[in-house]
Structure 1
Amino acid sequence: MFNINSFKLTDKVAIITGGASGLGEYYTRAMLTVGAKVMVVSHSERGWDKIKAVAAELGGQVAFFAQDVTAEDAPQKIVNATLNQYGRIDILVNNAGRQIRHPWDEFPKEDWQKVLDLNLNSVYYLSQEVAKVMKRQGGGKIINIGSMQSY
Structure 2
Amino acid sequence: MTSPRGTYLIISDTLRAKIKERAISEKLPSEAQLMRDHGVSRTTVRRALGVLQEEGLIESAAGVGWRVGQASAPRPLVDRMTDLIREKAVGEPFPSEAKLCEMYGVSRTAVRRALAQLEGSGLLETAHGKGRVVHALPAPAATS
Structure number with the higher strand fraction is 1
TM-score by length of 1: 0.26
TM-score by length of 2: 0.26
Whose Rg is larger? 2
